[in-house]
Amino acid sequence: KAGVTQTPRYLIKTRGQQVTLSCSPISGHRSVSWYQQTPGQGLQFLFEYFSETQRNKGNFPGRFSGRQFSNSRSEMNVSTLELGDSALYLCASSWAGGNEQFFGPGTRLTVL
Amino acid sequence: DAKTTQPPSMDCAEGRAANLPCNHSTISGNEYVYWYRQIHSQGPQYIIHGLKNNETNEMASLIITEDRKSSTLILPHATLRDTAVYYCIVRVNDMRFGAGTRLTVKP
């Protein structure tokens, strides 16, 4: 069974731009969660989607948004990029959100 | 959500058991204890989880105290490939990772 895939793996943007990251969960998984990882703040929860609905949200500004499609694939968008948004963005999927999560390799975003 | 406290770092000799403690004194009755690890530059990997009873799988054992205020992850025979950051998380709806414990397994 294929694992969680994330595209792109690496991305370079400049301040003020916007970016969209994609996550394809493991087949059959309906929950997708997003995390931001930085050296200073560690792993921080962004949001979770289940059956196309945002079920939980972390403490991030409204510039961070996401969505989930009917096939459970998910995208997250960051608008008006800031230097501090440079991070590894991780996506994780699970059957229903309440059990073990399987993480993808992440997308490393660099904002210049 | 309950918070967790873990030592920032630990060393373990290869072949010996690694015992990683976690304090979660504010855990509520319906919160599970989860353990994940992250090997450098990779996404976190699920290890084990439990509610009240001790649990064991092919990777590790999880010992939860009777009052559920703390737990210990046991890697029975640590190898060099177990060097990673280990995260203890208590969870109902979403996972809040702390700083974790950086475990270094030494030859």
Contact A90 B44 (CB under 8 A): yes
- Over residues B25-68, the pLDDT tens digits come to 989 888 899 999 999 878 999 999 999 989 999 999 999 999 99
B103 contacts: CB under 8 Å, gap ≥ 6 = B9, B10, B11, B12, B18, B20, B78, B82, B83, B84, B85, B86
**Are B43 and A42 inside 8 Å of each other by CB?**
no
Strand partners, A68: A74
Contact state of B94 with A58 under an 8 Å Cβ cutoff: yes
Tokens of B99: 């700083």
DSSP lists the bridge partners of residue A10 as A108
Q: With an 8 Å Cβ cutoff, is A75 touching chain B?
A: no
What CA–CA distances, in Å, run from A9 to A91, A101, B34, B42, B102?
Answer: 12, 20, 27, 12, 25
Measured distance CA(B75)–CA(B22) in Å, rounded: 14
Integer CA distances (angstroms), B58 to A48, A58, B3, B55, B61, in order? 29, 32, 27, 11, 8
Model confidence at A1, in pLDDT bands (50, 70, 90)?
low
Q: What is the pLDDT of residues A87-109, one digit of tens each?
A: 999 999 998 766 789 999 999 99
| Nearest CA-CA partner of A9 in A85, A71, A91 | A91
Q: How many CB pairs under 8 A join A and B?
A: 44
Tell which wins on pLDDT, B29 or B80: B80
Q: A43: distance to nearest CA of chain B, Å?
A: 6
Considering A29-43, A66-80, A84-98, the range whose residues carry the highest mean pLDDT is A66-80
For tokens 């990673």, the residue is B84
Chain A residues whose beta carbon lies within 8 Å of the beta carbon of residue B44? 43, 90, 92, 101, 103
